[in-house]
Amino acid sequence: MADHPLDPFALLSKSQKLALDATTGAFDALVTVGRTAAQPDEAVRQVAALVNAVGDLASASVQPLQDFVTRQREIADTMASLATVQADLAVLVESLAHRHAAVVQSLENLTAPLFGLVARETPGADT
């Protein structure tokens, strides 16, 4: 995974190394210029490289975070969709439960007289 050119963590690591190298080079050049004042063009080049490396580091640091936030938004949207579907399912199950209760009530109404008759005529029930 780290060898993939679009891997944000590999890009971050590479950018950090380049920024560190550029920082070290720029500070060394500035110290040298401060001591000798012989190569101001080299110091400017080193500082420009430092600015570019820091910009690349900032870009590489932001991309993984932006990807993470995007994925979290996708998860939140998926969970909201799931909650909506579950709410719809709950309404459907509630409706089925009421219908089933009505069927049970109808069966009780139909069978109550029969059960009453059977209970009165069972031999040995009076014992």
Sorted by where each begins, the domain ranges of the chain are 8-121
Q: What is the pLDDT of residues 35-85, one digit of tens each?
A: 666 566 766 777 777 777 777 777 777 777 888 899 999 999 999 999 999
Contact 27, 43 (CB under 8 A): no
pLDDT confidence of 1, banded at 50, 70, 90? very low
Mean pLDDT score of the chain, rounded to an integer?
79
DSSP conformation class of 122: -
Q: What is the pLDDT of residues 91-125, one digit of tens each?
A: 999 999 999 999 999 999 998 888 777 777 766 65
Q: Whole-angstrom Cα distance, residue 26 to residue 109? A: 93
DSSP conformation class of 127: -
Cα 120 to Cα 21, 40, 83, 108, 123, distances in angstroms: 100, 116, 53, 18, 9
